[in-house]
Amino acid sequence: MTDVLGIADPVDELICSGKGCRAVAVWGLLWNNPKIHTPERRKVWLSCQDHRDHLERFLGARNFLRDTVPVSELDRVIPGDPA
């Protein structure tokens, strides 16, 4: 399946999105819910090494998962920049 080029939301603190987890994130899970997001939009869930599988399964089961990339490839929110 051909996917459109996604535009990921910039991320702020690199903290895992896992429930109750405050570990440093190393992966960015890029996802899109076609019912509420435009096709090129990519929401980003950050994940530590331990939670990647869990979060990928959660998004994959809903067909929301589009890609997983190292956090180094993600755009960062510029500190002090008005949102």
Residue 72 Cα to chain centre, angstroms:
12
Q: Is 21 in the site for Zn ion (CB under 5 A)?
A: yes
Q: Is 52 in the site for Zn ion (CB under 5 A)?
A: no
Q: Is 69 in the site for Zn ion (CB under 5 A)?
A: no
Q: Is 48 in the site for Zn ion (CB under 5 A)?
A: yes
Identity of residue 42: R
Q: Single out the segment in contact with Zn ion by CB under 5 A; choices: 3-11, 14-22, 32-40, 66-74.
A: 14-22
Distance CA 44, CA 27 (A): 10
Distance CA 3, CA 41 (A): 12
Which residues would be at the binding site for Zn ion (CB under 5 A)? 16, 18, 21, 23, 48, 51
